[in-house]
């Protein structure tokens, strides 16, 4: 329901977020709801990574203790410990997906994969039980193949296509797409392939992160034409493209020196402003009428998490009212610098 001044969204869902552990988690987990969201699809790249059902359930318990009013959908980290039996166990325990990180491409990806073939039995089991494969879609930089952060995503796309061809019933999500090539590839594939888009990639291009390490994330933001492709597919209201914020907090000192050759502190932090920021950006490129699809219904449908009667009462209201974004979010000794720090947003949460 919307008028010129007010928009109501049924149960916004963030289908890709980093909630960390320990004191940093205590700071950032309550920001999911502060940013307007009632569902969080939680990434497993902790130290150590979440590789078993027990670990994922314990982590879910930690998050529920920090904010019980968010639905946390849990994921496992694709690694050699993961067996088809563990997949069946995880599925029975309500774990929703498995996240694949190519080795070395981003934060805590040292234990990531080098080839998909050894995991085919795991993917077969996931297809059987209906678990989702979440792909970080980048090839590690390599001068021998002319691969660097700017073409790492397009060079990854053949892997997405071949996984889909081999496992056509396996639901696969290409995470945080940044290029026109990625948008076109996902559109060309079947209904079992979805794609998340972050809020920050709707705003940034190379010019914004080269020399500004707080805007450095993986995959890096690309060319203006790539950003235009992300905006176009949202304007079109394509139902397989939905929000996954990839909101990724890091200590300010680590962010200040982050570079593509040391991807340890890759990440942009958007959680506490996520819904107003997304509304602001969609309005800026003429897609405000697609907001509810992009932040709620499309992703929920892909994951089979449609809004029920009670959840629809958990709707969130945005009002057209300017606010200035805080520069830093803090809890005791923990601090995170916000995306859009000190800038104005046109929309506020009620
Ligand atoms: O894939 C990722 C990981 C994330 C993080 O910091 O965990 N930050 C990013 O920018 N991209």
Task: Confirm whether the ipTM is greater than 0.95.
Answer: yes
Ligand 1 nearest-atom number relative to CA 136? 1
Which residues lie with the beta carbon below 6 Å from any ligand 1 atom?
18, 45, 106-107, 136, 217-218, 246, 248, 266-267
For the residues 161-185, what does the mean pLDDT come to? 98
Whether 161 and 121 have beta carbons less than 8 Å apart is answered as: no
- pLDDT confidence of residue 91: 98
Q: What are 16's two structure tokens?
A: 């890709």
Q: What is the pLDDT of residues 9-20, one digit of tens each?
A: 999 999 999 999
- Sheet order of strands, 171-174 included: 75-77, 97-100, 132-135, 171-174, 193-197, 241-243
Longest dimension (CA), the chain: 55
Residue 1 has pLDDT above 50, yes or no: no
> Nearest residue CA, atom 11 of ligand 1?
218
- pLDDT confidence of residue 39: 97
Ligand 1 nearest-atom number relative to CA 265? 6
Expressed in angstroms and rounded, the spacing between residue 277 Cα and the centre of ligand 1 is: 19
> How far is the C-alpha of 170 from the C-alpha of 166, rounded, in Å?
9
> Nearest residue CA, atom 8 of ligand 1?
267
Expressed in angstroms and rounded, the spacing between residue 18 Cα and the centre of ligand 1 is: 8
Expressed in angstroms and rounded, the spacing between residue 330 Cα and the centre of ligand 1 is: 20
Expressed in angstroms and rounded, the spacing between residue 232 Cα and the centre of ligand 1 is: 24
Q: Which of 153, 217, 222 to mutate to test the pocket of ligand 1 (most atoms within 8 A of CB)?
A: 217
- pLDDT confidence of residue 3: 53
Q: What is the pLDDT of residues 266-292, one digit of tens each?
A: 999 999 999 999 999 999 999 999 999
Q: Which of 218, 260, 262, 269 to mutate to test the pocket of ligand 1 (most atoms within 8 A of CB)?
A: 218
Ligand 1 nearest-atom number relative to CA 108? 7
257, HSE (Cβ side, Cα atoms, 13 Å): 3
Show Cβ contacts of residue 182 under 8 Å, excluding neighbours closer than 6 positions. 137, 153, 154, 157, 174, 195
**CA dihedral of residues 286, 222, 344, 320 (deg, nearest 10):** 20
Residue 177 has pLDDT above 90, yes or no: yes
Report the residue count for the chain: 350
Expressed in angstroms and rounded, the spacing between residue 107 Cα and the centre of ligand 1 is: 5
Phi, psi of 183 (to 5 degrees): -60, -45
Q: What is the pLDDT of residues 241-257, one digit of tens each?
A: 999 999 999 999 999 98
- Residue holding tokens 């089979």? 304
For the residues 60-89, what does the mean pLDDT come to? 97
Ligand 1 nearest-atom number relative to CA 249? 6
Stretch among 87-96, 108-117, 126-135, 170-179 having the lowest mean pLDDT = 108-117
Whether 222 and 205 have beta carbons less than 8 Å apart is answered as: yes
Ligand 1 nearest-atom number relative to CA 266? 10
Residue 308: pLDDT band (50, 70, 90) is: confident
- pLDDT confidence of residue 113: 84
Q: Which of 246, 262, 339 to mutate to test the pocket of ligand 1 (most atoms within 8 A of CB)?
A: 246
Expressed in angstroms and rounded, the spacing between residue 70 Cα and the centre of ligand 1 is: 21
**E-assigned strands of the chain?**
6-9, 13-17, 39-42, 71-73, 75-77, 97-100, 132-135, 171-174, 193-197, 241-243, 316-324, 328-331, 334-337, 344-349
Q: Which of 266, 268, 336, 337 to mutate to test the pocket of ligand 1 (most atoms within 8 A of CB)?
A: 266
> How far is the C-alpha of 135 from the C-alpha of 160, rounded, in Å?
8
* Mean pLDDT, all residues of the chain: 95
For the residues 101-108, what does the mean pLDDT come to? 86
Specify whether domain 10-311 bears CATH 3.20.20.140.
Answer: yes
Residue 4: pLDDT band (50, 70, 90) is: low
> How far is the C-alpha of 139 from the C-alpha of 137, rounded, in Å?
7
């Amino acid at each position: 329901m919307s008028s010129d001044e007010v928009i109501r969204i049924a149960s916004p869902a963030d289908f890709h977020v980093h909630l960390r552990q320990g004191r940093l988690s205590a700071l950032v987990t309550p920001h999911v709801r502060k940013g307007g969201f009632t569902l969080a699809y939680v990434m497993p790249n902790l130290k150590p990574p979440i590789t078993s059902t027990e670990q994922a359930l314990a982590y879910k318990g930690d998050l529920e203790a920090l904010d019980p009013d968010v639905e946390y959908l849990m994921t496992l980290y694709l690694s050699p410990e993961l067996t088809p039996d563990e997949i069946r166990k995880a599925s029975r325990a309500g774990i929703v997906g498995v996240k694949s990180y190519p080795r070395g491409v981003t934060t805590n990806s040292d234990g990531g994969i080098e080839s998909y073939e050894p995991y085919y039995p795991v993917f077969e089991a996931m297809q059987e039980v209906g678990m989702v494969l979440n792909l970080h879609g980048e090839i590690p930089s390599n001068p021998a193949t002319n691969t660097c952060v700017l073409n790492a995503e397009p060079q990854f796309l053949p892997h997405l296509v071949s996984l889909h061809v081999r496992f056509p019933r396996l639901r696969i999500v290409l995470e945080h797409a940044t290029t026109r090539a990625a948008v076109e590839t996902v559109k060309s594939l079947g209904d079992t392939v979805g794609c998340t888009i972050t809020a920050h990639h709707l705003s940034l291009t190379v010019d914004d992160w080269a020399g500004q390490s707080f805007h450095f994330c993986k995959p890096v933001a690309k060319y203006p034409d790539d950003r235009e492709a992300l905006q176009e597919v949202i304007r079109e209201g394509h139902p397989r493209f939905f929000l996954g914020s990839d909101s990724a907090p890091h200590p300010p000192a680590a962010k200040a020196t982050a570079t593509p050759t040391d991807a340890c502190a890759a990440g942009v932090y958007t959680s506490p402003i996520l819904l107003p920021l997304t509304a602001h950006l969609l309005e800026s490129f003429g897609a405000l009428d697609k907001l509810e699809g992009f932040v709620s219904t499309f992703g929920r449908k892909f994951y089979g998490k449609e809004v029920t009667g009670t959840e629809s009462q958990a709707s969130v209201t945005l009002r057209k009212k300017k606010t200035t974004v805080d520069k830093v979010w803090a809890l005791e000794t923990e601090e995170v610098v916000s995306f859009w720090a000190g800038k104005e947003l046109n929309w506020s949460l009620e």
